[in-house]
Structure 1
Amino acid sequence: MKAPFMIVADIVKQGSGALLPALLLAGCATTGVETAAVRLPAIDVPAQAETDPVGTPNADAADDPAIWRNAADPAASLILGTDKKAGLYVYGLDGKVRDFAAAGALNNADLREVRMADGSKRILVGASDRTDRAEPRIALFNLDEASGKLTALGAEAFLPAGHAPAEAYGFCMGNARARDELARAYVVLKDGSVAESRLVEKDGRIAADYVRLVKFATQSEGCVVDDAGKVLFVAEEDVGIWKVPLAGATLVAEPFARVGAQDGLVADVEGLAVARESGGRAWLVASSQGDNAYALFDLSSGKLSGRFRIDGGTIGGTSETDGIEVLLGDFGPQFPEGLMVAQDGDNAPKAQNFKMLSWRSIRTALGIE
């Protein structure tokens, strides 16, 4: 157990009792310093579609997706996904490439619909830019909803002058929290720090103004903002998931779920996504990369609702998933209640890509009414 959770072990919630006795060890024999491969029980849910592979072959390249839902024409919605060696892709729900922005080493991506000072609306896309490993930046783009094309808006530095060298890693966005800003951006640095910035219009560009920071003891990456709950969730890879309330003057992390059978997580804990219904019910989905599965937590109770793997069907499953995204709502007949997108770390013989499945299939498989 890592040090951050040793302090709060007595107050960490218990996970789903149904899973506690069901810990399975696959391939328990070990040699040397190898550890037993943990494989917790999970229900298979097949993918229904997949994207074209990213352009970088024979490498760990695809990473984090984002979803934009076209409310006027749900089947025309768009998926974005990073090739962390090269840039950012835009895909249609058919999985075909609509656009690619060659923008360097972009790791994680997110988006928000924002209103500019002139009253116009824009789909603002942000990504953690690792091109300069000493100077973290946020790469910004405008996404044209009709064409699916990206327009680069520049890469913005955000840490105060004189900061120590830092590498941008994880990234997520939240809604604006003041009238003079477009959105909030959260960059997870490779040292475990998470920096919050305001995205604002300044001198004819969108700038990132640093606000505050929260620090975790070890490497973190996945993050997601639950705008309705005013909470940031962060995945500390070998430790678990932290909940960070955003309403206060300072950022203070609270334990939410820890690596282990009781919370259904096998390190590394990677991508996070919030699935929120219009009526308010919501879930946190986490990539349990260590056993190629996904854990689903009910945010009203904080308890584990179930686990699933993307497997079966005519399309290959996923393994070693980094980034995920989930958005509920109508996405057309194939995804009538919502869409989940997950990076596939082994799409051999082709390069890595992203798999798509419907929220209805997840909900049905896990018995969620």
Structure 2
Amino acid sequence: MRMALNALTLIPALALGACAGMREIPRPVYPAVDVAATGETTPVGSANADAADDPAIWRNTANPAASLILGTDKKAGLYVYGLDGKVRDFVAAGALNNVDLREARPGYVLVAASDRSDLAEPKIALFRLDGATGKLSSLGALPFLGAAHAPAEAYGFCMGKGLALGELARAYVVLKDGTVAESVLAEEAGRITARHLRSVKFATQSEGCVVDDRTGQLYVAEEDVGIWQVDLRAAMLKPLAFAMVGKEAGLVDDVEGLALAPEGRDGGMLVASSQGDNAYALFDLATAAPRGRFRIAAGRFGATSDTDGIELITGDFGPDWRGGLFVAQDGDNAPSAQNFKLLAWDAILRAVNEKNP
């Protein structure tokens, strides 16, 4: 059962654990089924570096096989890939960390990313994606906190749908100190603006986040602690413990990327990158109950390790991904630079369900 907790209450326990001897405690490795990747992207351009970070997926409803994947090179900018993994476009945009997109209105695909090029002034980098050509148009980078804020580094990022007339989307920037800032992205006189609304603070470094547009729930990964749920419909943003690091939830720190597999009005699953043991954990959205774990196995396209960002979109993506597409960053794609692996969501579900009938 989820409990209403203040994220700060977990710090004493974490600090005590850190002080229990000076040697590093080996991380656990929990059981998980193996699933092979179905494809991969061309490596990012920043070689010999921790560079690839976070993917987003645009599903072409008219022609699913022509859908597109976006991925950040946090040393250089933003890539667009086809489902064949080949580069369709690249925009040199600096240190972009996490990326998300929303179809703000019919035919208008708004792409946004956390911009950490300026470590004192967090910004949201904005782009428009042309689904027909796979090309990105840069719309600039917007500060959103105002002149009086303390220095802060933009880190994690996700978007939710606009909630009022004139809103293109809601943006959630996870600052490296654990603050999550909610802003409205709106169009005024042909320009996009960012207006900060409110914030919620987690005790330690956080990054991964995802918004369930159906239910108005924000999920945030506090890396060494676990996953929190925040009701965006409430007047005050209050974190609820969803799944904490440990054997019960099957999460090994760091907890990194988060993705959703919605089902019906409010059901489905949350997927999390359990980076500490190179696995991915599934949870029931309604109950937070663990639903299984998997790893991306070595095969034609290789295994994954140290995964940061993940993304998942259900639905038809063509012959190789009839039941949905799961994309995971690969932290060690040696001898090449880092890249993103593509998996069939229905293959993941089959493997997990066979292990956990």
TM-score (norm 1): 0.90
CA change 1:5–1:263 in 2 (3 A) is: farther
Instruction: Tell me whether 1:177 sits opposite 2:177 in the alignment.
Output: no
Instruction: Tell me whether 1:357 sits opposite 2:347 in the alignment.
Output: no
One-letter code aligned to 1:131:
S
- Does structure 2 conserve the Cα–Cα contact (< 8 Å) formed by 1:87 and 1:103? yes
Map of 1:80 onto structure 2: 70
SS in 2 for 1:286: strand
Instruction: Tell me whether 1:340 sits opposite 2:326 in the alignment.
Output: yes
Of 279, 283, 287, the residue aligned with 1:293 is 279
Of 301, 305, 308, the residue aligned with 1:319 is 305
Could you tell me how far 1:300 is from its partner in structure 2?
Answer: 2.1
Could you tell me how far 1:3 is from its partner in structure 2?
Answer: 6.9
Aligned length: 343
Question: Percent identity between the aligned chains?
Answer: 66
CA change 1:235–1:261 in 2 (3 A) is: same
One-letter code aligned to 1:285:
V
Could you tell me how far 1:34 is from its partner in structure 2?
Answer: 2.4
One-letter code aligned to 1:226:
D
Query: Matches of 1:246 and 1:69 in 2, distance apart?
Result: 26
Instruction: Tell me whether 1:212 sits opposite 2:198 in the alignment.
Output: yes
Could you tell me how far 1:248 is from its partner in structure 2?
Answer: 1.1
Map of 2:41 onto structure 1: 51
CA change 1:342–1:252 in 2 (3 A) is: same
CA change 1:195–1:32 in 2 (3 A) is: closer
Could you tell me how far 1:326 is from its partner in structure 2?
Answer: 0.4
Map of 1:153 onto structure 2: 139
Deviates more, 1:200-209 or 1:48-57: 200-209
One-letter code aligned to 1:221:
E
Task: Provide Cα deviations, 1:2-24, integer angstroms capped at 9, x if missing partner.
Answer: 97354999xxxxxxxxxxxxxxx
Query: Matches of 1:180 and 1:341 in 2, distance apart?
Result: 32
TM-score (norm 2): 0.93
Query: Matches of 1:242 and 1:113 in 2, distance apart?
Result: 26
Query: Matches of 2:324 and 2:148 in 1, distance apart?
Result: 44
- Does structure 2 conserve the Cα–Cα contact (< 8 Å) formed by 1:5 and 1:255? no
One-letter code aligned to 2:92:
A
Instruction: Tell me whether 1:4 sits opposite 2:8 in the alignment.
Output: yes
Map of 1:64 onto structure 2: 54
Task: Provide Cα deviations, 1:150-202, integer angstroms capped at 9, x if missing partner.
Answer: 00001011003211011000000000111121100000001100000000012
Query: Matches of 1:37 and 1:218 in 2, distance apart?
Result: 19
Map of 1:190 onto structure 2: 176
- Does structure 2 conserve the Cα–Cα contact (< 8 Å) formed by 1:5 and 1:239? no
- Does structure 1 conserve the Cα–Cα contact (< 8 Å) formed by 2:177 and 2:204? yes
Query: Matches of 2:22 and 2:182 in 1, distance apart?
Result: 42
Deviates more, 1:200-209 or 1:138-147: 200-209
Query: Matches of 1:306 and 1:34 in 2, distance apart?
Result: 28
SS in 1 for 2:150: coil
- Does structure 1 conserve the Cα–Cα contact (< 8 Å) formed by 2:225 and 2:245? yes
SS in 1 for 2:91: strand
Map of 1:114 onto structure 2: 104
Query: Matches of 1:45 and 1:319 in 2, distance apart?
Result: 13
Could you tell me how far 1:52 is from its partner in structure 2?
Answer: 0.2
- Does structure 2 conserve the Cα–Cα contact (< 8 Å) formed by 1:8 and 1:255? no
One-letter code aligned to 2:77:
G
- Does structure 2 conserve the Cα–Cα contact (< 8 Å) formed by 1:287 and 1:321? yes
Task: Provide Cα deviations, 1:299-326, integer angstroms capped at 9, x if missing partner.
Answer: 1221000000011332201000000000
SS in 2 for 1:182: strand
Query: Matches of 2:270 and 2:110 in 1, distance apart?
Result: 23
Query: Matches of 1:317 and 1:5 in 2, distance apart?
Result: 37
Query: Matches of 1:232 and 1:278 in 2, distance apart?
Result: 18
Query: Matches of 1:280 and 1:222 in 2, distance apart?
Result: 21
- Does structure 2 conserve the Cα–Cα contact (< 8 Å) formed by 1:182 and 1:200? yes
Task: Provide Cα deviations, 1:186-238, integer angstroms capped at 9, x if missing partner.
Answer: 00001100000000012321111100000000000000001112100000000
Alpha-carbon RMSD across the aligned residues, in angstroms, is 1.8
CA change 1:32–1:4 in 2 (3 A) is: closer
Query: Matches of 2:104 and 2:301 in 1, distance apart?
Result: 35
Query: Matches of 2:9 and 2:128 in 1, distance apart?
Result: 40
Query: Matches of 1:333 and 1:280 in 2, distance apart?
Result: 28
Task: Provide Cα deviations, 1:2-57, integer angstroms capped at 9, x if missing partner.
Answer: 97354999xxxxxxxxxxxxxxxxxxxxx971212310100001101000000000
Could you tell me how far 1:332 is from its partner in structure 2?
Answer: 0.6
Query: Matches of 1:104 and 1:8 in 2, distance apart?
Result: 37
Query: Matches of 1:289 and 1:185 in 2, distance apart?
Result: 25
Query: Matches of 1:5 and 1:367 in 2, distance apart?
Result: 35
Query: Matches of 2:132 and 2:264 in 1, distance apart?
Result: 25
Of 188, 196, 211, the residue aligned with 1:225 is 211
Query: Matches of 1:240 and 1:279 in 2, distance apart?
Result: 25
Instruction: Tell me whether 1:269 sits opposite 2:255 in the alignment.
Output: yes
Task: Provide Cα deviations, 1:36-84, integer angstroms capped at 9, x if missing partner.
Answer: 2310100001101000000000000000000000000000000000000
Could you tell me how far 1:126 is from its partner in structure 2?
Answer: 0.2
One-letter code aligned to 2:29:
R
Query: Matches of 1:71 and 1:337 in 2, distance apart?
Result: 14
Query: Matches of 1:187 and 1:127 in 2, distance apart?
Result: 9
